[in-house]
Chain A
Amino acid sequence: MTASVMPAALSRQPVLGVLKKKYFATRLDAAVTVLFAAFIAWIVWSLVNWGVLDAVFGPNQGDVCREDLEGGACWSVVSTRWRIVLFGLYPFEEQWRSGIACIAMVVVAILSCIPWFWSARRLPVLWVVGFATFYVLMRGGFLGLAEVTEQNWGGLSLTIFIFAAVSLLGMPLAIIFALLRRSKLPWIARTMALVIDTIRSLPLLTIMFTFAIVMPFVLPDWAIGDKLYRVIVGYALFFACYQAEIIRGGMQALPNGQEEAAKALGLGYWHRIGYIILPQAFRNALPPTINQFVITFKETSLVTIIGFFDVMASGRAASGTAEWNFAVVEMYVFVALIFYVFVFSLSRYGAYLERRLGVGRR
């Protein structure tokens, strides 16, 4: 007999018992429990009051919010100006393109989380198709689509684009860096170590600023490219240096026997790396890798300092007018919610991967 088929009357007793034993065992316990329950209830009640019961939801109701002096949240700012947060300064009539591009990117990211796509052939194809769709839709300039330069990309679409591009450029770079750092030739290993340590000792903000603003003075004209891509390259380099150290950590956790056994079997360098070392290194390094992705996603908002309208800057612009300047908190809550949805899904996916790969158990 399992618990699920027990009659309700029988199962209720133990629950009460457990409650009493754990939370109301002594008078002090009871007092603390009641106090904390009341405190939490009060916080939840205030939040619900502010965010739901007293809140104004419909679009274009700024005046209602203003008159409602002791009132709750003014979600009207979000329902009126959400398009700025999602699409930034992208031309209003063309925003459907930015929307589809954004969805396409998210779908590609979700698909690549499914194990079926984890092959050296399917994954690159998937991402190339994803990026091409995104670029064609966002940039336009043919098939009757009006051209929209990178200058005007913005909002959530831009944040996701930067994140995806940095991860995809940075990951292979990180593997190369990690392998070079493990090189048997000391001058290669030491140079790589120097490069990694140098870049790691610079703040991300400095690197972005250098790539966006100082590079045009230094580089020849043909190599300048758009500011957006320069920043992505700089950020990818930064990402790669951190990720390389994470991967190296994963490699060092492997017993020497693994590589020696592979050598004894007569496997060449690339086979050893590709089939023996890297898969196990990645499994070992999964928790810090997910961590690195989360940080990377959140730090994309630093691009606002070089004049990009990422989701954070767009949020500030959305509440930064005479009509909505009082609703700054609501706008920040909305932007935080967007970040939460993405970062939380990323973390949950990481947890799923850890279970699936048995990290920590094998």
Chain B
Amino acid sequence: MGNLIKGLVAAAAITLATQAAHAQVANDSRLTTVLERGSLLCSGHNGSFLGFAEVDDKGNWKGVDIDLCRALAAGLFGKSEGHLEIVPISWAQRWPALQSGDIDVVIKVSGWTQSRDTELNLAYSRPYFIGAFQVMAHAKLGAKTVADLDGGTLCVGAGTSTERAAATYLESHDIEAELLTFENGDELRNSYYEGRCDGQVEWAPSLAAGRVDAPDGAESHVILPDVIALEAEGIIVPEGDPDWLDVQNWMLSSLWFAEMEGITSENVDDIRANPPSETVAKFLGVSPGYGDRLGLPNDWAYNMIKEVGNFAEIYDRNIGAGSPYNLPRGINALYNAGGVFYPMIVD
């Protein structure tokens, strides 16, 4: 009799444990819809957005945002090939397309603003990219920071948030530089190249793209590390779908976790065969739990890393050192390398 009770209690405990391990994904969650459909509809671009969504010679998408789409599809289905559709959409179209179900998720360098978060019924993941407004200066000036441009001239777009941010920055840092404003982006760039101003203030990835195409060569220009202002770019899903939002957040966390642990697309198989710690073993799906709780396969993080690599690899390949843009990681690095990003705890 005592044994029977013990047995019952043990059975109940096991049942509870397994129930706890298998998260209940709501039936109306977008996650369920996507898994049943067998493919992910991710946001593309109508044209291209340098470094984040471009089209290669064979008409295939590439870029940071595209790689995040691929990572997500690989995490959900084991590999992205055949399970990912990049739907070309315009800027204006992204929110209605998300609500109507034309796409499952918006990964389209979209800044986290209060009105979008509250009024538009959107839910943001944690940011995956900090779009910094920075200064590009002529290399021959030898400037190392914006403070070195004291007494000089900066070109900036007229009436933009950039102009306001630059003015505030100069004032608060006691830098005496003149702001020269331009209505037109091309005019601004040309004036800078012709030497009207010592530096130009712009969104960092755009600066990097412009630097590559500078008429006197990329080496003649440096992007100064000071951050004038920030825009946090996140992944967006419809409001009120916590299961789907969890997947986005843990996808990003996994990419940073892999970077932190030194797991890359190349060594992921070795590390998985011989995990250095119980945490990494769990992360790569050697021991169960990491996927179950989200309603995903346990090796989902392994599949993502295998396909697109960790966050550093994604960054370098598309806008960082491994790409023509050669944009320094800066604030987008992990916290231990001077950036603002960090993985969450894998337990």
What residues make up the interface of A, taking CB atoms closer than 8 Å to B?
Answer: 69, 80-81, 83-84, 87-92, 151, 209, 212-214, 216-217, 227, 304-309, 313, 316-318, 320-323, 325-326
Contacts and interface: CB of A to CB of B under 8 A. Distances in A.
Contacts, number: 97
A178 to B, nearest CB: 34
Query: Which of B47, B92, B97: most chain A Cβ within 10 A?
Result: B47
Query: Which of B46, B54, B58, B90: most chain A Cβ within 10 A?
Result: B46
A150 B285 CA distance: 38
A307 B89 contact: yes
Q: Which 7 A-B pairs have the closest CB atoms?
A: A320-B48, A316-B47, A322-B324, A307-B89, A326-B213, A92-B58, A317-B55
B90 A307 contact: yes
A284 to B, nearest CB: 40
Given A151-B85, A322-B323, A304 B90 contact: yes
B114 interface: no
Given A89-B55, A92-B59, A320 B93 contact: no
Q: Decide if the interface of chain A is mainly helix, strand, loop or mixed.
A: helix
Interface residues of B, number: 37
B87 A321 contact: no
Interface in B56-87: 56-61, 85, 87
12 contacts: A80-B57, A87-B59, A91-B59, A209-B92, A307-B46, A307-B88, A313-B88, A317-B45, A317-B54, A318-B55, A322-B50, A322-B323
Contacts of B50: 320-322, 325
B54 A304 contact: no
Contacts of B97: 213, 307
Contacts of B216: 69
B59 A321 contact: no
Contacts of A87: 59
A326 B218 CA distance: 12
Contacts of A89: 55, 59, 61, 88
A322 B62 CA distance: 11
A322 B51 contact: yes
Given A92-B59, A309-B46, A320-B48, A151 B100 contact: no
B34 interface: no
Interface in B210-265: 212-213, 215-216
B96 interface: yes
A329 to B, nearest CB: 11
B100 A216 contact: yes
Contacts of B89: 306-307
Nearest to A224: B100
Nearest to A155: B59
Contacts of A325: 50, 209, 212-213
A81 B48 contact: no
B89 to A, nearest CB: 4
Contacts of A151: 85, 87-88
Given A151-B85, A313-B47, A325-B212, A320 B92 contact: no
B324 A316 contact: no
A313 to B, nearest CB: 5
